[in-house]
Amino acid sequence: MRKVWKTVNIVGEKVAKYIDEMGRMLLLLLDTIRWSFSPPFRLDLLFQQMDRVGVRSVLVVVLTGTFTGMVLALQSFHATRGFGAETMVGVAVALSMTRELGPVLTSFMVAGRAGSAMAAEIGTMRITEQIDALFTMAINPVKYLIVPRVLASIVVVPMLTIIADFVGIVGGYFMGVTVLGINAGSYVANMEKYVALDDIYHGVIKALVFGLILSIIGCYKGYTTTGGAVGVGRATTESVVLSAIVILMANYLLTAAMF
Amino acid sequence: MIEIRGLHKSFGALKVLQGVDLHIPLEKTTVILGRSGAGKSVLLKHIIGLMRPDRGKVWINGLDITRLGDKDLNEMRKKFGMLFQEAALFDSMNVEENVAFPLREHTKLSEKDISRIVAQKLEQVGLPGEEKKMPAQLSGGMKRRVGLARALVLDPEIVLFDEPTAGLDPPMAAAIEDLIIETQRKLGRTFVVITHNIHTAFHIAHKIAMLHEGRIIEEGTPRAFRRSSNFVVQVFMSRGEEKEVK
């Protein structure tokens, strides 16, 4: 019995800790929203972050999108060949990319590249008192550090997702038509017939939410870093893992709500 | 003038400040002395409003800052400059950008004027012509000089120093102490320094206050402080001397 209580205690403590952390993250999000609408608006900082989060992630997103599109085409070709539905490969690739894999994989890549960098950078600033220094210079760190990163992510992750969708479809076309020899006309015609603009819009909306999630988690983990260099390492890892989990959960909820 | 009355602060069960009463005179250097972990940094953070007390008041020029909202507190902070223990320079910016940062954020000065002021402040702290260096290229002492230049760039009324000589070799520590004395003399501002180094305290202070177990147990001029009959102060001073001899 004592062992059971001990286990309940440990699990309860962990759950309470996670709920507490979620609450704090939500408060930081509310603070970020509040400061987003408070002038002066720092476009210079926003563009700087759009460059860091967006422009510098293009290559990795293009590579991920292209190979994902190619492998989707290859897999669905083998699955559909048995009953003569190879011309549906384009549809499978386009729907998978626009609805699911485009936004999810793009967000994973950005969380790994830029979200972790946010946690590391802000975490280092926290442990070396640079954040306290901002306060003493009458500059709010949420406005100066977090608002530009979150806004930039909300803007650029959907853009990167559109790029991933596009290169994924191109990669799928290359694999399906050029390599596997599917008829180009029916490949494209079926895609046009079965893929609606809404599929793309919904994917982009998902990407916007994922951009918000990965950036607020990266910033929160950095902002609350304690424990020196080890703490920065921990914050960085936790930001990527937590972002991935929350993105997958949000993906399910958004899919259930939109499709 | 800074007046602190009945300041209490706890972190969970740990009582850090247990009724601090302290008067910090205008245009003088006041050193708050105490061993590591005595709560000196916590006290300093209350003076600039980075922490809110559980109980007690902090008056800056007659204004109780413990009651101020975020916006007013931000305005009040513009009267302060602060030099952090490791200088807290922004490592993504070079020396010039670091020193110019408060000017760019809070004034509408032209870039030409900003460059002139930055050069002047760097000259003042003994680092002329080092504008383009990155913080990673600077020694501990140089970082603190740049940190001081940044703290002084808006000509604040009050300058706070968090352990300005900690971790520096003795000649470098003495050079920073001399710089603090010289700058205070030249600018005539209110300086508040926290340190655990008794020699730094006696070298730079007009007034010394000792923080022990969450309270100020002794305060006065360096001369009066040396003659203190308080046992803890005597032990602290004798250990400080011993350490220096070693």
Parse chain A into domains and list their residue ranges.
40-258
CB contact under 8 A, A138 and B90: no
> Which chain B residue has its CA at the smallest distance from A40's CA?
B105
8 A C-beta contact, residue B138 and residue B125? no
What pLDDT is recorded for position B111? 94
From chain B residues 194-223, the ones with a CB under 8 A of any chain A CB are: none
If phi > 0 it is left, if psi is from -120 to 50 it is alpha, else beta; for residue A138 that is left
For tokens 């897999």, what's the residue? A75
What pLDDT is recorded for position B62? 87
Check if A137 contacts B (Cβ < 8 Å): yes
> Which chain A residue has its CA at the smallest distance from B86's CA?
A128
CA angle B3, B7, B10 (to 5 degrees): 150
Which member of B78, B85, B91 has the closest CB to residue A138? B78
Q: What are phi and psi of B190, to 5 degrees?
A: -85, 120
CB contact under 8 A, B50 and A124: no
C-alpha to C-alpha distance for A113 and A63, rounded to whole angstroms:
14
For tokens 């922490």, what's the residue? B51
CB contact under 8 A, B101 and A137: yes
C-alpha to C-alpha distance for B246 and A233, rounded to whole angstroms:
38
Check if A40 contacts B (Cβ < 8 Å): no
Check if B11 contacts A (Cβ < 8 Å): no
Q: Chain A contacts of B48, Cβ < 8 Å?
A: 135-136
- pLDDT greater than 50 at residue B246: no
pLDDT in tens, A97-112: 999 999 999 999 999 9
Separation of first and last alpha carbons in chain B: 39
CB contact under 8 A, B74 and A136: no
If phi > 0 it is left, if psi is from -120 to 50 it is alpha, else beta; for residue A181 that is left
What pLDDT is recorded for position A129? 92
Instruction: Assign B240 a pLDDT band (cuts: 50, 70, 90).
Output: low
pLDDT in tens, B123-155: 988 888 888 999 999 998 899 999 999 999 999
CB contact under 8 A, A138 and B91: no
- pLDDT greater than 90 at residue B242: no
8 A C-beta contact, residue A77 and residue A180? yes
Chain B: nearest CA to A75, how far in angstroms? 46
Task: Write down the mean pLDDT value for chain B.
Answer: 91
Q: What is the dihedral of CA A154, A157, A159, A161, to 10 degrees?
A: -140
C-alpha to C-alpha distance for B65 and B18, rounded to whole angstroms:
19
- pLDDT greater than 70 at residue A146: yes
Q: Chain B contacts of A136, Cβ < 8 Å?
A: 48, 50, 77, 80-82, 160
Q: Which of A158, A156, A186 is nearest to A98 (CA)?
A: A158
Chain B: nearest CA to A48, how far in angstroms? 13
From residue B173, alpha-carbon distances to A4, B168, B190, B208, B217 in Å are 58, 5, 21, 19, 26
Q: What is the dihedral of CA B203, B37, A224, B68, to 10 degrees?
A: -70
CA angle B203, B204, B208 (to 5 degrees): 95
Check if A48 contacts B (Cβ < 8 Å): no
**How do B207-212 and B158-162 pair as beta strands?**
unpaired
For tokens 């950078």, what's the residue? A121
Chain B: nearest CA to A42, how far in angstroms? 11
Chain B: nearest CA to A114, how far in angstroms? 16
- pLDDT greater than 90 at residue B75: no
Which member of B74, B78, B88 has the closest CB to residue A130? B88
8 A C-beta contact, residue A94 and residue A152? no
SS3 sequence, chain B? CEEEEEEEEEECCEEEEEEEEEEECCCCEEEEECCCCCCHHHHHHHHCCCCCCCEEEEEECCEEHHHCCHHHHHHHHCCEEEECCCCCCCCCCCHHHHHHHHHHHHCCCCHHHHHHHHHHHHHHCCCCCCCCCCHHHCCHHHHHHHHHHHHHCCCCCEEEEECCCCCCCHHHHHHHHHHHHHHHHHHCCEEEEEECCHHHHHHHCCEEEEEECCEEEEEECHHHHHCCCCHHHHHHHHHHHHHHHC
- pLDDT greater than 90 at residue B245: no
Chain A: nearest CA to B167, how far in angstroms? 15
pLDDT in tens, A116-143: 999 999 999 999 999 999 999 999 999 9
Which member of B82, B85, B106 has the closest CB to residue A136? B82
Check if A2 contacts B (Cβ < 8 Å): no
- pLDDT greater than 70 at residue B108: yes
Tokens of A244: 């991935």
State the ipTM, two decimals: 0.87
